[in-house]
Amino acid sequence: MKRFKYDNDVILAPMVRMGTLPFRLLCLDYGCDIAYSEEIVDTKLLQCRRVENPVFGTIDYVHTDGEIIFRTHPDEAERVVLQIGTAVPEQAAAVAAMMERDIAGLDINMGCPKDYSVKGGMGAALLKNPELIEQILRQCRAVFSKSLTCKIRLLPRMEDTLELVKRIETTGVDALAVHGRTKEERPRHVNNCEAIRIIASTISIPVIANGGSADVHSYEDIEKFRLACGASSVMLARAVQRNPSLFRKEGQLPREQMISDYMKKAIDFDCSYRNTKYAIQQLFGDTSTPRGQQFLATRDFREICEIFHYEKYYDEQIRLRGRDPNDQSLEDRG
Ligand code: FNR
């Protein structure tokens, strides 16, 4: 089974709300090598059934309440990594086994400091429990033959961090992503590239450096960040949330172009109004302009389309799907 080597790869980091199918495909089109999904909690996925959707050519994991929890498309099949939140090895392994055919890799979130994660014992809460980390990774490895990674933050003490990463290495993961901040540190704090460098020189599996967005303003900066961390690959979140064309070797694109490219994919894959608005708001940057204000005032998907001159295309697509473009009640499924 083919697995990623994580050798000089440039990766879209997992981002809740942002890392859904349209944005992942956009980033892959622009040149990123691997696209991580937003974090999805294991229990939610385990309540889903798999549906091959002929309307969009997608594979959907649909919750019992009808919500699409994970949507993927053959165009990303070789390059998409699903990130899950978990605190239960058996559940993580059940997700791994259930989803293996539709994803190129699986990642376990061990860095999220948000309350909803930590309270459930997931995300950064796992960092305090190396035994559980080991069990989760071993049980996933036993049933999952594709790329397996986890994404951690630094522990307050470097000795503890090194002990943890050595333990993670023994589980058979293909790579380790390291955000160079502790659970308590916020994005304004300096990312600890030196700590990532020490980790990379301590273990022999590839290390994916993360946390460097503040210093990434060009394609060349991505490689500078990798070298500063002595890492094998780089994973980017905030920098590409604002400007996914940073993934382009050929150079960056104007905002209008990126928004237009995103908009088309959001229509093609029936992205929800709320998600589309959130993603475009990030791409928009400054919304204090008259156009920005007009955008913020939109109340449904079609109104967003109107701002970016996509209403004709949207109406055509909606009619092809046998729906009425003026019926907005159908579109917002969260
Ligand atoms: C994140 N981050 C994050 N991390 C994770 O492991 N799973 C997730 O679902 C999310 N969600 C998320 C949403 C948004 C909007 C942001 C900005 C960030 C953290 C992210 O992957 C990354 O670790 C940090 O943002 C640091 O990397 P950058 O931004 O400096 O490249």
Tens digit of each residue's pLDDT (9 = 90 or more) over 225-250: 999 999 999 999 999 999 999 999 99
Mean pLDDT of 31-50: 98
Query: How high is the pLDDT of residue 160?
Result: 98
Which residue among 118, 215, 222, 238 has the greatest number of ligand 1 atoms within 8 angstroms of its CB, and so is best to mutate?
238
CA–CA distance, 334 with 228 (Å, rounded to integer): 39
Question: What is residue 230's DSSP assignment?
Answer: T
- What percent of the chain shows pLDDT beyond 70? 98
Indicate whether 141 pLDDT > 50: yes
Q: How far, in Å, are 173, 256, 322 from residue 259 at the CA level?
A: 36, 5, 26
Mean pLDDT of 320-327: 85
Query: How high is the pLDDT of residue 272?
Result: 94
Query: How high is the pLDDT of residue 326?
Result: 77
Q: Tell me if 154 CB under 6 Å of ligand 1.
A: no
Answer for the pair 232, 199: CB distance below 8 angstroms, yes or no. Answer: no
Q: Among 234, 317, 313, which residue's Cα sits nearest to residue 31?
A: 234
Query: How high is the pLDDT of residue 324?
Result: 85
Question: What is residue 13's DSSP assignment?
Answer: P
Question: What is residue 245's DSSP assignment?
Answer: G
CA–CA distance, 244 with 24 (Å, rounded to integer): 10
Indicate whether 259 pLDDT > 60: yes
Mean pLDDT across the chain, nearest whole number? 96
Helix (DSSP H) and strand (DSSP E) numbers for the chain: 14, 11
Q: Among 151, 49, 63, which residue's Cα sits nearest to residue 109?
A: 151
Mean pLDDT of 30-36: 98
Query: How high is the pLDDT of residue 1?
Result: 61
Q: Per residue in 64-75, pLDDT tens?
A: 999 999 999 999
Residue nearest to atom 13 of ligand 1 (CA): 15
Q: Give the position, in ligand 1's atom list, of the atom nearest the Cα of 179.
A: 23
- What percent of the chain shows pLDDT beyond 90? 93
Q: Among 149, 150, 144, 140, which residue's Cα sits nearest to residue 109?
A: 150
Q: Per residue in 84-109, pLDDT tens?
A: 999 999 999 999 999 999 999 999 99
Query: How high is the pLDDT of residue 327?
Result: 73
Indicate whether 128 pLDDT > 90: yes
CB-count exposure of residue 186 (10 Å: 0-12, 13-18, 19+): exposed
| Beta-bridge partner residues of 34 | 11
Mean pLDDT of 47-73: 97
Residue nearest to atom 27 of ligand 1 (CA): 211
Query: How high is the pLDDT of residue 325?
Result: 80
- The two beta strands, 58-63 and 68-72, are antiparallel
Indicate whether 332 pLDDT > 60: no
Which residues are tagged catalytic? Answer: 112
CA–CA distance, 44 with 11 (Å, rounded to integer): 25
Answer for the pair 124, 110: CB distance below 8 angstroms, yes or no. Answer: yes
Q: Among 82, 73, 75, which residue's Cα sits nearest to residue 36?
A: 82
Which residue type does 298 have?
T
Mean pLDDT of 277-286: 95
Q: What is the dihedral of CA 65, 70, 73, 75, to 10 degrees?
A: 170
- Residue 2's pLDDT band, with cuts at 50, 70 and 90, is confident
Query: How high is the pLDDT of residue 239?
Result: 98
Indicate whether 334 pLDDT > 50: no
CA–CA distance, 201 with 241 (Å, rounded to integer): 30
Q: Tell me if 237 CB under 6 Å of ligand 1.
A: yes
Q: Tell me if 123 CB under 6 Å of ligand 1.
A: no
Q: Look up the ipTM and state it.
A: 0.99
User: At the fourth CATH level, which superfamily is domain 10-247?
Assistant: Aldolase class I (3.20.20.70)
CA–CA distance, 183 with 194 (Å, rounded to integer): 17
CA angle 191, 195, 201 (to 5 degrees): 135
CA angle 275, 27, 43 (to 5 degrees): 50
Q: Where in the chain is the domain with CATH 3.20.20.70?
A: 10-247
Q: How far apart are the first and last CA of the chain?
A: 35
Q: Per residue in 165-193, pLDDT tens?
A: 999 999 999 999 999 999 999 999 999 99
Report the separation in Å between the CA atom of 311 and the middle of ligand 1, taken as the mean of its atom positions. Answer: 32
Query: How high is the pLDDT of residue 99?
Result: 98
Query: How high is the pLDDT of residue 91?
Result: 98
Indicate whether 164 pLDDT > 90: yes
Per DSSP, the residues of 43-97 read HHHHTEEEEEETTTTEEEEEETTS-EEEEE-GGGTTTEEEEEE-S-HHHHHHHHH
Which residue among 10, 11, 12, 16 has the greatest number of ligand 1 atoms within 8 angstroms of its CB, and so is best to mutate?
16
